[in-house]
Structure 1
Amino acid sequence: MIRVLVIEDEQDLAENLLDYLELEGMLPDHASNGLAGLQLARSNRYDVMVLDLGLPKLDGISLCQALRQDGSDMPVLMLTARDSLDDKLAGFAAGSDDYLVKPFEMAELVARIRVLAARRSGQSRRLTQADLVLDLDSQQASRGGALVKLSPAQFTLLETLLRAAPSPVSRSELEHALWGEDTPPSNALKVHLHHLRKALADAAASGAPELIETVSGVGWRLVSVTQPEEAQ
């Protein structure tokens, strides 16, 4: 499911965007000014950002530049009422990936979002980290060539961690990946993580290190066995 951050200060347009994206099966989030949008982008993972160019507190160009300086590879689709070549070039120079001029058709916006989401490396069908391989087409995982037996929930957790690696993933992001908005009791996630750790350990060679690391106050991440200083 595609997670979209919409940063738009026109309330009516923002509400229409959020409603339409939800109907298209996406998970939209919203900020009404540039500073709030930048904070959301830095604290959560999104597949695509839909970014208005003219924003209060921090304009779209400056926001996009700040993201790229952070090292973010999130695809950015800029929205603007300005359609001059100079405006488009400024947006691309700041790090945007696509450009849509207002007014626009919602169907075109959704099509462009899907294309941008598919470009991201997170859409790879074969995810790897250290000696771990997750094949999304066959729905199988292996460690050091040995099959890792995973439940559907464990598979989802591992995919989410692999897509983010080596960055950590927060509790809320993992819970959202598993259950959407219907979050179960607080210890359910830890139970699934415990069983995932055990499944990875059972498939590993004797003495192989732990791959899932707890990042205090942040969440969890997958670490590489080639970097022992990061291991637990």
Structure 2
Amino acid sequence: MRLLIVEDSPVLGRDLRETLIRDGHAVDLAADGAQALAFATSYVYDVIVLDLMLPKVDGWSVLQRVKQGAGAPGVLVLSARDQVADRVEALNLGADDYLVKPFSYDELLARILAVSRRSSGQVPLLRAGALQVDPRARLARVDGQVLALTPKEYSLLETLLNQRGTVLARGTLFEHLYDAHSEASDKVIEVLVSTLRGKLARAGLPDLIETRRGFGYVIAA
């Protein structure tokens, strides 16, 4: 997933970003509300993890702004404010979930995945012939056998399956899989597609990912 963490604590923000990146997600980090809005208007995010007590622009205002219009990202509020009134207000403003600090990382990740599924309308399991992908477990199987994928390979496969039948340009895939701080170029997508194809071929699915020259990649509908 492409995630935005909005957190003014440098230590917590950095720890969350690094941990989520290790799990294979593309993660941007905003330290205040103004920076969060700049990110949200420049990139498309699956989920925004939003603190409420922020400098420059408060989290309530950020929540209202990012939830305007169609195609708004899922928002998980992560706040030390533990009053029922705060939760009700955040949910009324459009938040998809609310988690109180302190928290466990496993619960945070589970809630991020749940918000993503609700926001995108994603079905629990994704299938293409003998291939089955479980977004909750982040596992891909062919005829029941687990594919040994890296986090980025898995994310690429899930993205193509979620957009099955749609040709996705190299740049579009790069923006979804890599954050704004990445030093890689979008040519890394060619490498990812190649390694993923190799693993799919060895599992008996050599032609699952099609290349449309000059346009991008697609898993046929």
| TM-score, normalised with respect to structure 2 | 0.62
Alignment deviations for residues 125-156 of structure 1 (CA, whole Å, 9 cap, x no partner): 89xxxxxxxxx51269xxxxxxxxxxxxxx98
Q: Secondary structure at the match of 2:85?
A: helix
Q: How many Å apart are 1:122 and its aligned residue? A: 5.5
In the alignment, the residues of structure 1 paired with residue 128 and residue 124 of structure 2 have an alpha-carbon distance, to the nearest angstrom, of 10
Q: How many Å apart are 1:7 and its aligned residue? A: 0.5
Q: How many Å apart are 1:175 and its aligned residue? A: 3.0
Rate the CA distance shift 1:179–1:110 in 2: closer, same or farther, 3 A: closer
% identical equivalent positions: 36
Q: Which residue of 1 aligns with 2:194?
A: none
**5+ long unaligned stretches in structure 1:** 127-135, 141-154, 204-232
Rate the CA distance shift 1:175–1:19 in 2: closer, same or farther, 3 A: closer
Rate the CA distance shift 1:69–1:10 in 2: closer, same or farther, 3 A: same
The amino acid across from 2:31 in the alignment is S
Q: Which residue of 2 aligns with 1:57?
A: 56
Higher radius of gyration, 1 or 2? 1
Whether contact under 8 Å (2:33, 2:62) holds in the other structure is: yes
Q: Which residue of 1 aligns with 2:109?
A: 110
Q: Which residue of 1 aligns with 2:85?
A: 86
Q: Which residue of 2 aligns with 1:137?
A: 127
> More deviation in 78-87 or 22-31?
22-31
Q: Which residue of 1 aligns with 2:39?
A: 40
Whether contact under 8 Å (2:47, 2:112) holds in the other structure is: yes
With a CA cutoff of 8 Å and minimum separation of 6, indicate the structure with the bigger relative contact order: 2
Rate the CA distance shift 1:52–1:13 in 2: closer, same or farther, 3 A: same
| TM-score, normalised with respect to structure 1 | 0.60
Trace 1:119-198 onto structure 2 (pairs within 5 A).
119-121=118-120, 123-124=122-123, 137-138=127-128, 172-177=171-176, 182-183=184-185, 194-196=213-215
Q: Secondary structure at the match of 2:173?
A: helix
Whether contact under 8 Å (1:156, 1:178) holds in the other structure is: no
Q: Secondary structure at the match of 2:127?
A: coil
Rate the CA distance shift 1:101–1:159 in 2: closer, same or farther, 3 A: same
In the alignment, the residues of structure 1 paired with residue 14 and residue 45 of structure 2 have an alpha-carbon distance, to the nearest angstrom, of 19
The amino acid across from 1:35 in the alignment is A
In the alignment, the residues of structure 1 paired with residue 6 and residue 129 of structure 2 have an alpha-carbon distance, to the nearest angstrom, of 35
**5+ long unaligned stretches in structure 2:** 131-156, 191-210
Whether contact under 8 Å (2:26, 2:177) holds in the other structure is: no
CA RMSD, Structure 1 to Structure 2 (Å): 4.0
Whether contact under 8 Å (1:62, 1:94) holds in the other structure is: no
